[in-house]
Structures are given as C-alpha cells and as structure tokens.
Amino acid sequence: MRAKGSIDFPDGVVSKLDSQILLETLKPSGEERSLMEASRKPLAKVGGRRRMPFSGLTIAWRGTPSLDDWVAYIVRTKSKKVILADHASERKVKTLLSRLKTMSKKEVGQLAKG
C-alpha cells in the first residue's frame, strides 16, 4: 500500500535536488492547514492633535476605527488630570472634541479624569 501523496520512482532517477523540489510541491495547500493559522492584517491606528481656540489647550486623541478603544487627553499640562476620554467610541471622542472648542481651560479641567 502506498501512502497518500507518494510517488514511486526507479532507483537513481530522482536526485537529491529533485527530491527536495518534489517534497516542496507535495506540502499541503493553504486550505488544508488549520484555520487557526490564518494571517490577519494588523488594525490601523488613527490619531491626531488639535489646539483648542478658546482654552489654548492642545488635545490629542488616538484609537482604532470600529473599536471602542479611543482615548483623548490634554497634552503638556501641569494638572494631574489629563485624560478626557478612555475606552470610548470614536463617535464619543469626536463629539467631545467639538464640545471642547468652546470651553474655557477651567471647564476642560473639570471634565478631565486623573
């Protein structure tokens, strides 16, 4: 009985190099590999920073589209409260940024967590 995928050749017909090529071609295809080995594209990270006109503070944000891992924070402040939003959706962070445009420095500081 022959094993599945084996080919019989007369002695001396297949050289060592040919046998190496033959072994490469007999490897299982991608479909036969386990589904757990599927490669995935890395998720794209998005970020930015904006200086708020009224308060003069610079607000930075970053996150991954379609995930609720967005964060917004105050850049270079003496206050210990710097985080404005954490583990939020992209929509919440963008809404927060538009609200911060008209707030004073004191109001922004009240919103911040630390």
Q: Is residue 77 part of a domain?
A: yes
Q: Is residue 20 part of a domain?
A: no
Q: Is residue 53 part of a domain?
A: yes
Q: Is residue 84 part of a domain?
A: yes
Domain count, the chain: 1
Domain housing 74: 46-111
Q: Are 93 and 63 in contact (CB under 8 A)?
A: yes
- Indicate whether this model's pTM tops 0.85: no
Q: Is residue 12 part of a domain?
A: no
Tokens coding 73: 């924070």
Q: Are 58 and 51 in contact (CB under 8 A)?
A: yes
pLDDT value of residue 73: 95
Edge to edge, the sheet with strand 70-75 lists 46-51, 58-63, 70-75, 83-88
pLDDT, tens digit, 9 for 90 and up, residues 32-73: 555 556 678 888 999 999 999 999 999 999 999 989 999 999
Q: Is residue 52 part of a domain?
A: yes
Q: Is residue 8 part of a domain?
A: no
Q: Is residue 21 part of a domain?
A: no
